Structure 1
Amino acid sequence: MTSRKAIRLGSAVAAAAIAVLPLAACGQDASAGSGGGKKVIGVSVADQKSLFYVAEVAGIKDEAKKQGYDVNVTSANNDSSAQIKQVNDLLTKQIGALIFTSQDSTAAAAGVRAANQAQVPVVAVDQRPESGQGKLATYIATDSVKAAHDMCTWMFKQIGGSGELAILHGVLGSTAETQRTQGCQNALKENPGIKLVAEETANWDETEAYKATQNILTAHPNVKAVFGESDAMALGAAKASKAAGKQIFSVGIDGFPTMFDAVASGLTQGTEAQQPYKMGKLAVDNAIALMNGKGGDIPQEQYQDTVLIDKATVGQNKVEDFYGPDAKSFK
């Protein structure tokens, strides 16, 4: 038997609205655009707590500055209702394109539909709306099904092909959560010696993952491994097991700077490193092309590869290659 906590979406729209952060990449008033009549690129991200999103925005700002464009960045503080409002506010400012990383499928669908109605092209990063819920100019992301399948398959091999497994889920219904769950489930079908005994929702958050893992270890003391669908959750699981005096095999997906350190120290055992800084830069390139009527050859889907980071490879890879030149400051 498995159990899953229901997700609780935050309802503090007013508080989240305070977190709207308009940032001019070139040091100018974002509403005015840069010189020569260039339109501003609107950016809406789920939060600026996740290191993935921090690195994505860093890539966006750096590439926009390099190419002489301004960006207006908003952060929803993980509030779906607030993000929908923020997207609508961006659209009233006559942005030329929208780079959109949604909080969940509800925000994704509503935001993309609003942009479609305003005839503003949408470059989706990391999250996407359900099929039929709006038209994207392109979708830039990690192939999370493959990344999770590869991560879980590797983990199952490392623990000898048998034992009890727990999964910590991200925000339920988000693209990454759905795909990473599917990927690990595919790996489970291929490894009948692994028994999934517990599932908890920790919403990409380390603290929630710590508490969820405490509950899991109480109910299932023989759990051998935890798949955290993000590095933050894998770290929370590892710290909870250490506090309980237990040793579990804990892995994630992201490639956070903190996870590089954790793998090197042996606290966690592995991660699939994503490339959010590169995704942010690519999103700006695409947005500018679309704004200038040159986006006809942009692929509809642009999946970026992940890299396995474990004890053997962590010293051979630089976190800056994945999270940008300021990656170490994100710890």
Structure 2
Amino acid sequence: MAQKLTVCVLFGGQSSEHEVSRISAVSVIKNLDKEKYDIVMIGITKKGKWLMYQGPVDKIETGEWENGHVARAMISPDGTINGIVKLSVDENTDELTATTAKIDVVFPVLHGLYGEDGTVQGLFELAQIPYVGSGILASSVSMDKIYAKLVFKDAQIPQAQWEVVYKYELDAIEKVVERIESCFEYPCFIKPSNAGSSVGVTKAHNRQELEKGLVLAAQHDRKILVEEFINGREIECSVLGNLNPKASVVGEIIPGREFYDYDAKYNDDTSQLLIPAALPEETANKVKQYAVSAYKALDCAGLSRVDFFVHKETDEVFINEINTMPGFTSISMYPKLWEASGISYPELLDQLIALAMKRE
């Protein structure tokens, strides 16, 4: 039997998607083949502490993991995780010990800022440890919706019209509102440039909602993206690979709310996922083509989920955004699309780890 790889699953983080990351990590840990991998679990608290965790997996999802079975953790350039302050070994002893675990690859199940934006990727590069997902540049540019849009524009991938607003401009918010109203009709969307899971996103139907949306987005980022409304179906496509990526079947989200916001994604069971999406073959193929084109244009690696709008009347395809570390929860679209394409969740994890180990 081949020697087991030691996989470090990194979860939590300091972003607004901390809780989603924990849920995704539990799904990943439970679906990793224990015959192939030894698993080291490291959580990052909301305050930024890195803690090596050795307790029950289910307590990661609830947040109870921080209360015991943890040690301060540090990643070393030789590929080791050093537990330097053991807080508890088990419930029956107060003995303090140190733990060292050699790792072969990191699976950073982190969503949003300080996890999906190139920051931890830079740490792994410095430590010379292979990791699942895109590199520093692709991660950071993909996370920033505004810069990603510039890349999509250069790659000639159709997208909605958009305007950039900076936080400091809101000191004269009346002028900003007038500028936006001269560009778009209502409704329009307001988004923080660097945020995920629809955190801080508003669909504004009038001037009052636009002002509130701008203020809300500014709480999450100094750069704000305002986009025209596309009367479209919400379509998603998963991409897998390094130099020769491939696209999954295409799926559709039917939100249980007016749009697919944070609550619709994680707290509302009325939203529906349709796999495959009921699209004409030509339209579905165009979505796949644009998904791979966007992936290559941003120099992504490993995985991404690419989101689109397909106009309800014309079937025109518009790219919305790309996610370099999409959700891995039991209801997440990324693994479900690959399952529908013939790749099971455990096999998908095997492929992602193999892609990380041989990334060129």
TM-score class normalised by the smaller sequence: 0.3 to 0.5
Given the two structures, how large is their TM-score scaled by the length of structure 1? 0.40
| Structure number with bigger Rg | 2
Q: Structure 2-normalised TM-score?
A: 0.37
